[in-house]
A = this chain, B = another copy of it.
């Protein structure tokens, strides 16, 4: 039996038999030697140039590699070739199911292309965003999918200068040259408003987290305001952190107790807002449907609460995949300055009892 299978082998410099510590992974050199070939050939075998080798050599390399359990060291290949095979992703809030769903799409697209994904969660903290961006840069990621809440322009620009393709999810940021993938927020809000109006709701309360930084929140809010004006609806807006439960309850309570006579509905700007609103409505004893409720983002449980909550579903997987596609396109394009583009997806309405009176 071959000694190497027992974890013993000849050392480099002399012919003596020495114990090989088990944590020594086999390298390309070892494979080359056992296959009676050169490093180059082994390298070629493993980097898509398999065809260029004679069938015989291919066989020997394959056999040796299999026997030794060889796997190229990504750290090393990332170093020389500049190919880290690594895509980075910055996620503002990993506990948000929407983010996870998009990430799932990103991940699949990466896998199909033989890329690995390194995900950094920032918990909505701009400081962590900067830190993680620098980190991803230090691993020389070949592309970056970004869902940030702050404006880490400096760090992003550094990445761009370094030649890293960037794709922004939803939130478009300052001046950085990058493509933006996300929902068609204007059409989504039109869809929501049309639905609510059709269902007879005349007074609306729009619930959102503060839109200051994040551009999709801005876009949605703007369109809401335009939309109610265009439709002769009455609208109010509450944009406070969802953590402020009291403020939220008071706002909703006041809204429901208002002087008007038209049926009232809540429009929630995202999944977290829908969750908070549902809680508040329950505590206020409101009946869903009588009080309308429509949320952007479809969640597992929306069908289960009361008569079901009407939502606007985003094509999350598709958004994730599209992000990676953009990245790849940019990478192919190379230095030729491709102008930034915008890829927009359409939301689809899932009508349930919460908007049926």
Residues of A within 8 A of B (CB): 21-25, 69, 71-76, 78-79, 84, 94-95, 97, 100-101, 103-104, 107, 111, 116-121, 128, 134-135, 137-140, 158, 161-164, 275, 278-279, 282, 299-301, 303-305
> Is the beta-carbon distance between B162 and A25 smaller than 8 angstroms?
yes
> Is the beta-carbon distance between B95 and A104 smaller than 8 angstroms?
yes
Partner of A138, one of B72, B117, B305: B72
Report how many copies the assembly holds.
Answer: 2
> In whole angstroms, how far apart are the Cα atoms of A84 and B279 in the complex?
45
Q: Name the distance in Å between A219's Cβ and chain B's nearest Cβ.
A: 26
Contacts of A72 in B (CB 8 A): 138
> Is the beta-carbon distance between A140 and B301 smaller than 8 angstroms?
no
A95-B97, A97-B97, A116-B118 are known; give 5 further A-B pairs, CB within 8 A.
A75-B84, A79-B79, A104-B121, A116-B139, A279-B303
Partner of A76, one of B73, B79, B128: B79
Contacts of A104 in B (CB 8 A): 94-95, 121
Partner of A161, one of B23, B111, B118, B138: B23
> In whole angstroms, how far apart are the Cα atoms of A210 and B202 in the complex?
49
Q: Name the distance in Å between A244's Cβ and chain B's nearest Cβ.
A: 18
Q: Name the distance in Å between A25's Cβ and chain B's nearest Cβ.
A: 5
Contacts of A275 in B (CB 8 A): 300-301, 304
> In whole angstroms, how far apart are the Cα atoms of A4 and B73 in the complex?
34
> Is the beta-carbon distance between A163 and B282 smaller than 8 angstroms?
no
| Interface pairs (20), CB distance under 8 Å | A21-B163, A22-B163, A24-B162, A73-B138, A74-B140, A75-B78, A75-B79, A75-B139, A94-B100, A94-B103, A95-B104, A97-B97, A104-B121, A107-B121, A111-B128, A116-B135, A118-B119, A275-B304, A278-B304, A301-B301
> Is the beta-carbon distance between B71 and A138 smaller than 8 angstroms?
yes
> In whole angstroms, how far apart are the Cα atoms of A25 and B72 in the complex?
24
Quick one: which of A25, A162, A163, A305 has the most chain B CB within 10 A? A25
Partner of A71, one of B22, B24, B134, B278: B134
Contacts of A84 in B (CB 8 A): 75
Contacts of A128 in B (CB 8 A): 111
Partner of A304, one of B22, B101, B305: B305
- Chain B residue with the shortest CB-CB distance to A114: B135
- Chain B residue with the shortest CB-CB distance to A308: B282
Q: Name the distance in Å between A262's Cβ and chain B's nearest Cβ.
A: 27
Quick one: which of A282, A299, A303, A304 has the most chain B CB within 10 A? A304
